[in-house]
Amino acid sequence: MKILILGGAGMIGRKLTEKLIADRELLTADDTLYLHDVVTPQAPEGHDNVVLLSGDITSAEQTDQLAGLQADIVFHLASIVSGEAEEKFDKGWSINMRGGWALLEALRAQHEQSGGSYRPKVIFASSIAVFGPPFPEAINDEFLCAPQTSYGAQKACIEMLVADYARKGFIDGMSIRFPTICVRPGKPNLAASGFFSGIIREPLNGVEAILPVDPSVRHWHASPRSAAHFLVHAAGLDESALGTRRALNMPGLSCTVEEQIEALREVAGEKAVSLIKPQPDEHIKNIVAGWPRNFDPQRALSLGFSAETSFKEIIEVYIADDLPK
C-alpha cells in the first residue's frame, strides 16, 4: 500500500499523518507514506517508510511525477487559503483549480497506461466555502453551491472534476467539505477564518487575540482531530455507498462567537477571555458574512462521519492535542 498526501506540510496534512501512524489501520508499518508540499514536509515520527517530496502542483512535470508514484490512496489537501485566493485571483485559480485538475489528469494518464488496473482512491479536501448566502436555517445535503469567494468557486470546480473522473471510472474519488477547523494549532495563517481559532488559542497561551467580527456571528466548526478522522474515514468508505453524489458535507458544530467565548470562560476563566480584543475588520466581516452558519449533514452522519458536539469539547481537544505543555 502506498499513501500520498498532497499538502502534507500543512496543519491538516500533519494531523492526518499522525493519525495514520497512530491508527495503523490504513497505513501498516510496511506501507510507504509519501508526503508532498510546496515546501518539504517534516519527517513524522513513528514510521520508517516515508518519502518527503516538494514541488509546485501547477507544473505538469510535478503532477506527472506524483501520479507516477501510483499511490493507492491520494489525499489532496494542497491549496492556498481563502484570504490569499481572494486577494490573488491568478494564484488562487492556478494552484487551487489548475493544480488540482492537472493532478487528476495525471492520475487518469496512469489509469489509462495501466490498462485500467490502476484506479486510486482520491480524497479531496473541499470546504463549506462552496456555499453562499442566502442560507436556509441549516444547509442540507441538496443545497446548491453558490460560493461568494474565489476559494469556494475553486473548490466547487475540483469537486465537479473529482465526481466526473470518478463517474468515468478513472479514479475512486470523493470530496469532503470541511467545516472551519478550529482550534488550529500554531501560528495564524492567511485564512479569513483564522480568528475563530485565534480567539481561543491565543488566550490559552496567555497572548492577546483580535476579534474582527461581531460576537453574534454564527459558524460551523470541527476540530483538527475530527478533520483527520474525516479523511481517514473517507478513505475507508466503499464508494458504492456514495451513489451518484461524491461531495459530502461533513458533520460539525454550529455556534456563535459569543458561545465560543463562553466555552473559553468555562475552560480557562475570565483572565483568558479578557485577552480577546474586539477590532472590527470590514474585509474579514464581509468575507465571513458570506459563510454558512449551520448544517444538517445527514448523509455524512449516516456514513459514519462524526465530530464534536459542543465548543467546550473542541477546546478540550486543542488542550489535549496541541496546547504547548
As measured in angstroms, the least distance from the Cβ of 296 to a copy of itself is 14
As measured in angstroms, the least distance from the Cβ of 267 to a copy of itself is 37
Closest CA to 205 of 278, 276, 128, 257: 276
Q: Which is nearer to a copy of itself, 120 or 132 (by Cβ)? A: 132
As measured in angstroms, the least distance from the Cβ of 235 to a copy of itself is 22
Distance (Å, whole) CA 150 – CA 153: 5
Q: Judge whether 165 counts as a catalytic residue.
A: no
Distance (Å, whole) CA 80 – CA 76: 12
- CA Rg, the chain, in Å? 19
φ and ψ at residue 103, rounded to 5 degrees: -60, -45
Residues sharing a CB contact under 8 Å with residue 89, sequence separation 6 or more, in sequence order: 150
Instruction: Please tell me which residue in 34, 151, 165, 318 is annotated as part of the active site.
Output: 151
- To which residue does cell 491508527 refer? 23
DSSP state at residue 255: E
As measured in angstroms, the least distance from the Cβ of 58 to a copy of itself is 15
Q: Edge-to-edge, what's the strand order for the sheet holding 180-181?
A: 180-181, 218-222, 253-256
Q: Using CB under 8 A as the criterion, which residues of the chain lie in contact with a copy of itself when the complex forms?
A: 89, 132-134, 136, 141-148, 150, 153, 156-157, 160-161, 163-164, 167-168, 244-245, 247, 290
Q: Which is nearer to a copy of itself, 165 or 311 (by Cβ)? A: 165
Q: Which is nearer to a copy of itself, 148 or 254 (by Cβ)? A: 148
Let me know: does 101 contact 161? Beta carbons within 8 Å. Answer: yes
Q: Which is nearer to a copy of itself, 115 or 134 (by Cβ)? A: 134
Q: Which is nearer to a copy of itself, 36 or 119 (by Cβ)? A: 119
As measured in angstroms, the least distance from the Cβ of 104 to a copy of itself is 10
Cis peptide before 324 (omega within 30 of 0): no
Question: Which residues are known to be catalytic?
Answer: 151
